[in-house]
Amino acid sequence: MPRPDGYLKISILQVDGSKPVPRVCMVLLTKAYMNVLHEHQTCLAAGVVEVDVEHGVVEVDVEHGVVEVDVEHRTLIFIIIIIILIIIFIMKLIGLLLLLGLLSLVEGEVVTSFAATCPAFFIKDQNNRLITPTVLPDQNRYKQICQRYGKAHRYATLYDIKNRIPVYSAYTFAGYKSIDRKGSWMIEPQIDEPGASTQKDMTTSDKVPLKLRGVNQALPKDYEHSGYQIGHLYPHCHNCDQNQAESTFTLTNAAPQDGEDNTDWYGQVEKVSANMIYNWCHPGTGHVVTGVVPSNTWIVKNGVNRVNVPAYFWSAFCCQHRLTKCPHSKGFLALTKTGMKILYNDPKHDWKMVTEWMSVQDLNGRLAPLYSVPTFEVFGNVCV
């Protein structure tokens, strides 16, 4: 049934993140009472607006209710409509940006069991039993984090709150691509505020109370003027998806790394392992664990040991061979410049990082004494 003369309906399309961003338009009032204007469309966002020009009534339906405004002057009606639509536009634009990941926050959840909360990043044995890398025994010191981004778990991290660096991050190999970072380095509020709330979002450090900030984890300012770069464990380049890559930019997934070591680690391990997985592994079966071993060297701020500088970086992958369908794997262990200086007791020499390729079984044997545990297993008995 047609509306009575003088009654306009302005329909605004909804924003659906699962579809291409729609054209969302507002039709300006064009009735004779307001001088005849040409119909004009402007991209906006939000609900339904109904305007009764004849009787001076504005109704706005924005999904959750109706707002009615009675005024005498039609010019005022027009101004109110524009203000309401601008507010609606801002609200919907924020929601759209969140859907697009431009304002998204990384979410990290401190858990008591990787297997119970984020099992997807770990291999299974022949009996379909989940195998996680060795979790070091002191639960007060080593925290299991299921890293989340955009409402989805992305990878898992075992974090050492004493040294303020990870032990390792475990993930499934999703591809190789150079992806630029859009956000800032984040931290995990639950690490500094154990059991505090339901605050699972990985966010900027200023969101944590000042007296607790950085008590158990590294902060971005720790790396400033330190001489070290922030080195990824789970590298952003092992992804083909922007959201997945963004999820790697958390300080719970990073450790101090000399600039030259950072470049060498990328060329000798991150790029090489990606090529191996592409060439040898059945697609979708690659599981990777990358970790660090602490040293006795620290980033020091105001006389306080803030962040441990690793002596070793290590990595290993396990997958199903694309031809034999059998488990296939490789391990990497790199002694960093810091590790070299300690090992050879020569801090002035210009050491170069040395990377060794080995079986995962050999890597397990090398890591156990470095972590001071009887045994250490990256993939259990599945990949050796």
The answer to whether the predicted template modeling score (pTM) of the entire model surpasses 0.75 is: no
pLDDT of residue 87: 67
> pLDDT at residue 107 above 50?
no
> pLDDT at residue 94 above 50?
no
Of 10-24, 195-209, 354-368, give the lowest mean pLDDT range. 10-24
Q: Where in the chain is the domain with CATH 3.40.570.10?
A: 106-370
What's the chain's Rg over C-alpha atoms? Answer: 28
Percent of residues in the chain assigned helix, strand, coil, to nearest 5? 25, 30, 45
pLDDT in tens, 39-56: 333 333 334 444 444 444
State the Cα–Cα distance between residues 174 and 182, nearest whole angstrom: 19
* 7-21, 99-113, 351-365, range with greatest mean pLDDT: 351-365
Q: Which residues contact 372 (CB under 8 A, 6 or more apart)?
A: none
pLDDT of residue 189: 73
pLDDT in tens, 147-156: 987 778 899 9
Phi and psi at 364, nearest 5°, equal: -55, -45
pLDDT in tens, 257-309: 999 999 999 999 999 999 999 999 999 999 999 999 999 999 999 999 999 99
As assigned by CATH, the class of the 106-370 domain is alpha beta
State the Cα–Cα distance between residues 26 and 78, nearest whole angstrom: 12
Amino acid at 354: V
